[in-house]
Amino acid sequence: MIIDPTEQTSKENYKLLIGSVLPRPIAWVSSLSKAGELNLAPFSFFTVASRNPPMLIFSIGEGVEARSGTVKDTLANIRECGEFVVNIVSAPLANKMAISGEHVAPDVDEFDYAGLTPTASEVVSVPRVEESPVSMECVLHQVIALGDDHLVIGKVVRFHVQDELYHNGRIDTKKLAPIGRLAGNYSPVESMFSLPNERLGEYLQPLVDKDRD
């Protein structure tokens, strides 16, 4: 099948993108308005943009229907204050992450709403999620408008890593237990393998059999 994106709606193209580009990591972004209102929201269009200096990027879509024509609180806060924190979502935090992504009024504190603890960052004024295993304080580098969306680029100025996850400059991925977005669903990182691997077929077969059951 060959599909021309110009002959589809943006929603139809979106469904193809999120069903094809996966698994996607989740940026759990905390931000702060000039009035001091906290905001926490998940974004699954997210990745590393640069190694030197360390930079992250994530994409913010249009606001919810109830606030048509406005930008999301996260984008408004980042534009106002020029700072934010990207918190990594581990499997035990998945439900709280989902709750923080619900459509609520702008004055609702998602930390309190989801039962999470805001804790002071070291450089930026925006609190991080204390329960998150890895948090990255960022200062805004640039916001780029891309059609209906906005690409936010932030420079990492501090890493916060739970002690039990850090070993010789690396993150213990198994202990981190990250989750990824799969279209409209989520999945934990349950297994890992290195490449090349002569026994790859043997290794993956139980996963194939499991899906058939």
For residue 69, pLDDT over 60 is answered with no
Query: What is the per-residue pLDDT across 150-171, written as a single tens digit (0 to 9) for each?
Result: 999 999 999 999 999 999 999 9
Backbone angles phi, psi at 170, to 5 degrees: -125, 160
What does pTM read for this prediction? 0.90
- Looking at the DSSP bridge assignments, the partners of residue 38 are 32
Query: What is the per-residue pLDDT across 98-153, written as a single tens digit (0 to 9) for each?
Result: 999 988 877 788 999 999 999 999 999 999 999 999 999 999 999 999 998 999 99
DSSP letter for 117, please.
-
Architecture of domain 22-212: Roll (2.30)
- How far from 132 is each of 12, 50, 87, 127, CA to CA, in Å? 33, 23, 6, 12
Q: What's the CA dihedral at 178, 181, 186, 191 to 10 degrees?
A: -50
Domain boundaries, the chain: 22-212
- The span from the CA of 16 to the CA of 5, in Å, is 10
For residue 63, pLDDT over 60 is answered with no
DSSP letter for 15, please.
H
